[in-house]
Amino acid sequence: MLPIKIENISKTFDGVKALDNISFTVEEGELFGLIGPDGAGKTTLFRILTTLLLADEGTAEVLGFDVIKNYKTIRSKVGYMPGKFSLYQDLSVEENLDFFATIFGTSIEENYDLIADIYRQIEPFKKRLAGDLSGGMKQKLALSCALIHKPDVLFLDEPTTGVDAVSRKEFWEMLQSLKEKGIAILVSTPYMDEASLCDRIALIQEGKILQTDSPQNLITSYPHPLYSVKAQDTYQTLQTLRLAPFTRSILPFGDTLHLSTKQGGSIQEIEDFLNAKSQSQIEVKPIKATVEDVFLNLSSPQTKESPS
Amino acid sequence: MSELVIDVNNLTKKFNDFTAVDSISFYVKKGEIFGFLGANGAGKTTAMRMLTGLSKPTSGQALVLGLDVNSSADRIKKGIGYMSQKFSLYNDLTVKENIRFYGGIYGLSRAQIKSKTEEILEELSLKDVAKKLVSELPLGWKQRLSFAVAMVHDPAVVFLDEPTGGVDPHVRRQFWETIYEQASRGKTIFVTTHYMDEAEYCDRLSIMVDGKIGAMGTPGELKEHYSTDTMDDVFLKLVR
């Protein structure tokens, strides 16, 4: 039984297409990432799959159950961690966990082993009000509450947004160990660097899926020659290369530029061009694309910027 | 010696017996893009609140634009710009009204507001949507508008609080180009973030750990010092 099966789902709000003909599946035991910026439609899709919102068109099944006909069954079998912290701020850590366990007809003791690795980190603070926890601790409590009824599928909507790099890393390690326990996970994130931690990903922008594949396959599918360019003055170099005849696209990646070229732009040609424009300390290297390069290549920069 | 826009010496802030900021010292030069990083709870926000004149230090000194944060907080507030990704604009005001509002707050004259409005609408190609509510704008436009509004009184230094988290990769790059452009015109940019890919856009970085500055340098220097390829790994090695 497929944990998640989505076929041609569309949803429109006030004339804006939030989801446009979305289809993909999540396989058993898979950690699947939905990767895209704010406003791409990630939360809308999560709400449809967790039976909180009706799609305009298309069908979706979770664990073989239809999201409309069998919504009650689905609700008892999935764990959902919304993007916005949604626990009771005026209940303690332990009371929140106990509340969710009771709602689902179970107890903390019964499924303690599933949440132990995560909950143990916040257990010393179990008498503290949830509203007084730090961001990283809130996140761990929310995950514990989403897991306490031993769900077969876990929906995590932007669990790492607003969380620092250390907590992010720990969180992804927790997801790996949950996955090893056989739980299928659909996780969304706006951070492209988290894509490589998933088994498969779907890139989403403006309600459309750009591509679905393993991170490795996505990266090797990048169709153009790609170079990293470093120079003393990044901003000047960016502007210079934008006008070069061999440039297909030139985009800043921190203190480095990623230059994708049309056929024929060799390292020598790039260096000569920059030298002729008196840029100094130039370093050009061929590189492998990242998931972000793939996203930038597949998505169009114009859609959001052209004045309508 | 370049002009120092921010000059901090042994700056400390205590809340009862908890030391949130523990004797930090650093400087930011004119025209620099300076990244101010740290884990959640490391003291970033407390330090920035002192630099922007919102909170008084327990001890130590900080000069912003040559003014002491202890004695000249109000003058500092007038001289700096501040942008946070989340709260900068009023969604229920139009583009033009937002510019007028911030211009008024910063004490610009009617004539100045008028010319500044023209200038912003022109530079950001927002003329066609000047009378639209900000809530109707795409995120990328909102972001560039909030930056423009933070610069409405022509401050020499602007503080950006986690400016591009979660934003579309194309839009985010357009935003950083705007930042580079301002820096090349001599504006000083102070960025707090805990996203390391954002950090890589900065000229120089400091990383706060438990109230202290744990490391400082260019992204290249830090990566070399910690023998890693990414700022993410630098951060993990330092903080974990």
Q: Residue B61: which H helix or E strand, with range? A: strand B59-64
> What would the mean pLDDT of A74-94 be, rounded to a whole number?
95
| Domain count along chain A | 2
Q: Is the dihedral of CA B180, B182, B183, B184 positive or negative?
A: positive
On whether both A151 and A169 belong to a single domain, the answer is yes
> Does residue A123 form part of some domain?
yes
Report pLDDT for A47. 97
Instruction: Judge whether A166 is closer than 8 Å to chain B, CB to CB.
Output: yes
Report pLDDT for B75. 94
Report pLDDT for B138. 80
On whether both A129 and A246 belong to a single domain, the answer is no
Q: Using one digit for the tens of pLDDT, what is the confidence trace for A47-57?
A: 999 999 999 99
Q: If you ran DSSP here, which 8-state letter would residue B140 be given?
A: H
Domain ranges across chain B: 4-239
On whether both A165 and A252 belong to a single domain, the answer is no
Q: How far is CA B179 from CA A99, A202, A297, B174, B190, in A?
A: 48, 31, 23, 9, 11
CB proximity list for A40: less than 8 A, separation 6 or greater: A204, A205, A206, A207
We report the CATH number of the domain holding residue A33 as: 3.40.50.300
Q: What is the value of pTM for the model shown? A: 0.87
On whether both A197 and A233 belong to a single domain, the answer is no
pLDDT-derived band of residue A232, with 50, 70 and 90 as boundaries?
A: confident
More confident residue, A299 or B13: B13
On whether both A137 and A183 belong to a single domain, the answer is yes
Tell me phi and psi for residue A89, to 5 degrees: -65, -25
Q: How many separate helices (H) and strands (E) can be counted in chain B? A: 9, 10
Instruction: Judge whether A135 is closer than 8 Å to chain B, CB to CB.
Output: yes
Q: What would you report as the CA-atom Rg of chain B, rounded to the nearest whole angstrom?
A: 18
Q: What would you report as the CA-atom Rg of chain A, rounded to the nearest whole angstrom?
A: 23
Report pLDDT for B1. 46
Please judge whether B180 and A37 are an interchain contact, meaning their C-beta atoms are less than 8 angstroms apart: no
> What would the mean pLDDT of A101-110 be, rounded to a whole number?
95
Name the residue range of residue A198's domain.
4-219
Which of A161, A190, A219 is a domain's end point?
A219
Please judge whether A165 and B125 are an interchain contact, meaning their C-beta atoms are less than 8 angstroms apart: no
CB contacts < 8 A, A to B, total: 106
Q: How far apart are CA B154 and CA B148, in angstroms?
A: 10
The SS3 call for residue A277 is: coil
Report pLDDT for B124. 84
**What is the DSSP annotation of A185-203?**
EEEEES-GGGGGGSSEEEE
pLDDT-derived band of residue A308, with 50, 70 and 90 as boundaries?
A: very low
Q: Which of A104, A197, A108 is nearest to A144 (CA)?
A: A108
Determine the straight-line distance between the first and last CA of chain B, rounded to whole angstroms: 36
- Cα–chain center distance at A57: 24
**What is the DSSP annotation of A226-273?**
EEEEE-S-HHHHHHHHHT-TTEEEEEEETTEEEEEE-TT--HHHHHHH
On whether both A200 and A281 belong to a single domain, the answer is no
On whether both A33 and A127 belong to a single domain, the answer is yes
> Does residue A302 form part of some domain?
no
Q: What is the chain A residue with the closest CA to B42?
A: A164
pLDDT-derived band of residue A306, with 50, 70 and 90 as boundaries?
A: very low
Report pLDDT for B42. 87
We report the CATH number of the domain holding residue A233 as: 3.30.70.2070
Q: Is the dihedral of CA A117, A119, A122, A124 positive or negative?
A: negative
Interface test with B, best of A35, A43, A158, A166 (most B CBs within 10 A): A166
On whether both A215 and A228 belong to a single domain, the answer is no
On whether both A31 and A125 belong to a single domain, the answer is yes
Q: Using one digit for the tens of pLDDT, what is the confidence trace for A168-217?
A: 888 999 999 999 999 999 999 998 889 999 999 999 999 999 999 999 99
Q: What is the chain B residue with the closest CA to A258?
A: B173
Report pLDDT for B198. 83
Cβ pair B14, B32 in contact under 8 A? no
Q: If you ran DSSP here, which 8-state letter would residue A191 be given?
A: -
Q: How far is CA A226 from CA A211, A239, A269, A274, in A?
A: 20, 18, 14, 17
Low-confidence ranges of chain B (pLDDT < 70): 1-2, 85, 87
On whether both A154 and A197 belong to a single domain, the answer is yes
Q: Using one digit for the tens of pLDDT, what is the confidence trace for A250-267?
A: 999 988 999 999 877 789
- Token code pair at residue A99: 């509340």
Fold that domain B4-239 belongs to in CATH: Rossmann fold (3.40.50)
On whether both A106 and A35 belong to a single domain, the answer is yes
Tell me phi and psi for residue B194, to 5 degrees: -115, 20
**Largest interatomic CA distance in chain A:** 73
Report pLDDT for A257. 94
- Token code pair at residue A300: 């169009």
Report pLDDT for A303. 42
Residue A302 scores a pLDDT above 50: no
Burial class (CB in 10 A: 0-12, 13-18, 19+), B38: buried
Q: Using one digit for the tens of pLDDT, what is the confidence trace for A137-161?
A: 899 999 999 999 999 999 999 998 8
Instruction: Judge whether B199 is closer than 8 Å to chain A, CB to CB.
Output: yes
Instruction: Judge whether A173 is closer than 8 Å to chain B, CB to CB.
Output: no
Report pLDDT for A277. 86
Q: Which of B187, B161, B180 is nearest to B38 (CA)?
A: B161
pLDDT-derived band of residue A238, with 50, 70 and 90 as boundaries?
A: very high
